[in-house]
A and B are shown apart, each in its own frame.
Chain A
Amino acid sequence: MYDLLLLLLQIGIMVGIAPLLQGLIKLCKARLQGRTGPPLLQPYRDLAKQLRRESVVSDQASWVFRYAPIVYVAGLLGAAMLVPTVSQRSPLGGFADAIVFIGLLALARFALALAALDTGSNFGGMGASREMTFAALIEPAIILVLLIAALPRQSTNFSTMAGETAFTIAGLLAMGAMAIVIIAETGRIPVDNPDTHLELTMAHEGMLLEYSGRPLGMVMWATQVRQITFIALSVALFLPWGMAPLHDPSLRQMVTGLVAFLAKIALIGVVLAVIESSVAKLRIFRAPDLLGLASVLGVLAVMATYVVSP
């Protein structure tokens, strides 16, 4: 019963709050750039609009294009359910494995890249090629970051990994890697630009160009869920303060956990907005340098775990 409630809460947070976080980041960016910006709730309106609209599918598209959004959404929602948010306990308990998490993300990404290639549109192909290039570089970093968190507890279960305070040398290095992972996985400047209309420069957005209406709304929503998932993961691994304990939390502890979680993701959202407003996008051939840095930090962190820590 408790697990079921926790799961419902998790769905509410991840699916319900993801657009709000997106709205917060957009609003912060606008204010930092001296613009009024869209209202905080605009992403909800955008999603509502897209989900009501009819979908136009290219006559060149096959079933891959039609079913890919379902796999994408399922993969990302699945991954979102694994991450501990309010309490250290993951709502899916025994399934909440770091390797499963990485696999689900890879599955979602693969499905969308296939769909982007399916229509034969150039921008889809270019977007997919860039997204997969970035993915090949960023996935090792994610694995290493999760490994750092897994090593001290000797478990890759998120419920066990969460809540470890991370102010060790290894933890700090892993935090640096995680910061780069978040920027890359949320498709933000300096790696990708989520707000651009320049088709030739797009990575993630390029893959969505052929979608319209309800599938587009679903994919946009799932991408917002992916963003909040990564932020939640970094919070669980590196900023665990205020999380409700693994077993038998009181209501008070749960409320504290919820408030703390919301405050932390909002803070990270603001930091992302600051980064996006203060630098330009990297040249496409320089982006791998930054992504490679994440892996290097990860490797250093693993080494530090063994060399520095007993």
Chain B
Amino acid sequence: MTDVVTSPAVDLQQLSGGELLPSRVPGETRVVVPLVTLPRACQVIVDGVGARLATMVAQDERAETGSFTLAYTFAIPDRRWMTIECQVPADSPAFPSVTPLVPAAHWYEREARDMFGLEPEGHPDLRRLVMHDDWPAGVFPLRKDFDPSIPVPRVEADPYRFHTLHGDGIVEIPVGPFHAGVIEPGHFRFAAVGEVVLALEPRLFYTHRGIEKLIEGKSLDHGLQIAERICGVCSLSHAVTYCQAAEQILGIEAPPRAAVIRSIGLELERLYNHVGDAGNMCAGVGFMVGVAHGARLKDELQRLNEQFTGNRFLRGLSAIGGVRRDLDVEFAAQMSLELARIAREFGELTAMILGSETTMERMRRTGILPGDLARALGVVGVGARASGIDLDTRRDHPYAAYRDGETARRRDGKTARRPDGQNLPPSPAVGRGAGGEGYSAVGRGAGGEGHSAGGGEGFPVPTREEGDVAARLLVRIDEVAVSFALIQALIAEMPAGPLIAGWTPPTTDAAAFSATESPRGENLHWLRVNAQGTIERYRVRSASFPNWPAVAAAAPGNMVPDFPLINKSFELCYACLDR
């Protein structure tokens, strides 16, 4: 997998002042720096080329090299990756914190401290993050000498200290982790004056299942079963990301037909999430008609998922090397018609939501996430695109059928057509009559030119500048239109060929990572296998991980009763944050 050392790579290497290592995935520049220069190296990459911290992977390599390894991976705006690594000695497990210079690193470093016992020196907030108060001190679950089969006795400890504000009329409002509705557990601590939020501190990680530890020592196939169950609503995204990382290690590629089927599945996943979320956002403002129809359309999409894959959450579709299920021509035609109908009805629903002045009034200027703050926190997905950040993994790091669709098809020759030989009907444009106040305009890049299945430059990425709840709704609506069109285009031009590539378990130590654009944004999985062919280390950075701090940042200045709406507009996942 060693990439050719190109000149931009040398530039990045010189900028960071590190020593070049062989890259793990195409387009990655990987350097190792001395521990003391780590924060500075990260800062020059972020400030110098506008990189975004994409993940941070800590590893316990004491058995092999006598030290821990930290690897900070950045997404470079020109669509490459940059990894800065350093060794943390086993006898003094501490490292200079990157957080003061690169705020996006704050949760990664706290997690490394909880899970590996690596002390980030100079980190502004050294409270527990992942392991809560009752976890004993000095027990670090992701170290290799921790045996997960032995139960860990829980301890009494000082309760977690929230940041508090003091002053006349300031009240603390604790909410959760149990809620009146059936949602995932999470605690939110508000400081408010009357109904105005001054500060919000979320405390999450109540659903930590130790997945990264659980998967160690498992075979690649077994690992997929676990990866697919990280979260319900992004199952396929997680599965595909894992499969792609494994394929990268194995040096294989999913056949073109499998790539297209994966992309169709991924877009179906985006559709049922976005459609359901658009309806759910109406629940935040009490617009009950929107809620009811959003739920109805979401269920119709999930039934379609079940017809397609046998599972409403699209589980079991992706396999290492390709897919397990074919999409036959008849069902593809049926799905195409069904999707065209749902697209039309979703158009009616969005016209109703955007036409409801009372609804839009609640959403406008509510929960504003400023673009510079979103950049500093490394926000991804809808939250980033609604704050003017133009990023989408499907375009920036194309995978599956978003990679150059044309070349994949040419290589394979044949394309599938509808049984009657006709081209499939184009997806109807999303109706959005009565938007009002400039919201009626189609988001940048979303409409207009025909959508090709291929990724790369032409891939439409809707963005908005406002950063409020309404912008996040509108970005979702625009993305739904893109997804509907994309699926139709993919169905119309399905390449023939095998569904899965064969592979044998790896026999050498190797690592790779892969990213996909889940409905919530970029999911990044980092995977390493050892010479026995089992998983040595697995690091999941779901889209919710960098986005949760943005929810807390968007709340102050809003009314307390507007928080559920703001939270729904980001629609993040607790389970795939916690793992």
Contacts and interface: CB of A to CB of B under 8 A. Distances in A.
A123 to B, nearest CB: 8
B287 A279 contact: yes
Contacts of B559: 283-285
A278 B289 contact: yes
Given A282-B358, A284-B195, A33 B561 contact: no
Label chain B's interface by main secondary structure: helix
B118 to A, nearest CB: 37
Residue among A193, A198, A280, A283 having the largest count of chain B Cβ atoms under 10 Å: A280
B180 A34 contact: no
Interface string A198-214: 11110000000100000
Residue among A200, A277, A282 having the largest count of chain B Cβ atoms under 10 Å: A200
Contacts of B562: 283-284
B444 interface: no
A278 B561 CA distance: 20
Residue among B286, B287, B289 having the largest count of chain A Cβ atoms under 10 Å: B286
A195 B283 CA distance: 10
A277 to B, nearest CB: 5
B362 A281 contact: yes
Interface in A91-144: 122, 126
A198 B292 contact: no
Given A195-B288, A279-B287, A280-B359, 6 more contacts: A32-B289, A34-B292, A199-B180, A201-B286, A281-B286, A281-B362
Interface in A275-294: 276-285
Contacts of B173: 122, 126, 200
A226 interface: no
Contacts of B175: 122, 199-200
B174 interface: yes
Interface residues of B, number: 30
Nearest to B353: A280
Interface of B: 173-175, 179-181, 195, 282-289, 291-293, 296, 356, 358-359, 361-362, 559-564
A126 B564 CA distance: 15
Given A33-B292, A285-B195, A280 B286 contact: yes
Given A198-B180, A281-B362, A34 B296 contact: yes
Closest 3 CB pairs of A and B: A281-B286, A197-B181, A33-B292
A189 interface: yes
Contact of A197 (B180, B282, B292, B563): B180
A198 B293 contact: no
B560 A126 contact: yes
Contacts, number: 83
A58 to B, nearest CB: 15
Nearest to B563: A200
Contacts of A32: 289
A196 interface: yes
A190 interface: yes
B564 A201 contact: yes
Residue among A193, A198, A276, A277 having the largest count of chain B Cβ atoms under 10 Å: A198
A206 to B, nearest CB: 10
Given A283-B562, A284-B559, A196 B286 contact: yes
A201 B289 CA distance: 18
Interface string A1-39: 000000000000000000000000000010011110000
Residue among A126, A199, A201, A285 having the largest count of chain B Cβ atoms under 10 Å: A201
A280 B283 contact: no
11 contacts: A32-B289, A34-B292, A122-B173, A193-B286, A201-B286, A279-B287, A279-B358, A280-B358, A281-B287, A284-B560, A285-B559
B288 A283 contact: no
Residue among B180, B288, B293, B563 having the largest count of chain A Cβ atoms under 10 Å: B288
A276 B358 CA distance: 12
Contacts of A29: 288
A196 B565 CA distance: 12
Given A198-B283, A200-B561, A285-B559, A276 B179 contact: no
Contacts of B282: 280
Contacts of A277: 288-289
Nearest to B282: A280
B180 A279 contact: no
A279 B356 contact: yes
B196 to A, nearest CB: 9
Contact of A190 (B358, B563, B564): B358
A33 B564 contact: no
A122 B188 CA distance: 13
A40 to B, nearest CB: 19
Nearest to B564: A198
A168 B561 CA distance: 40
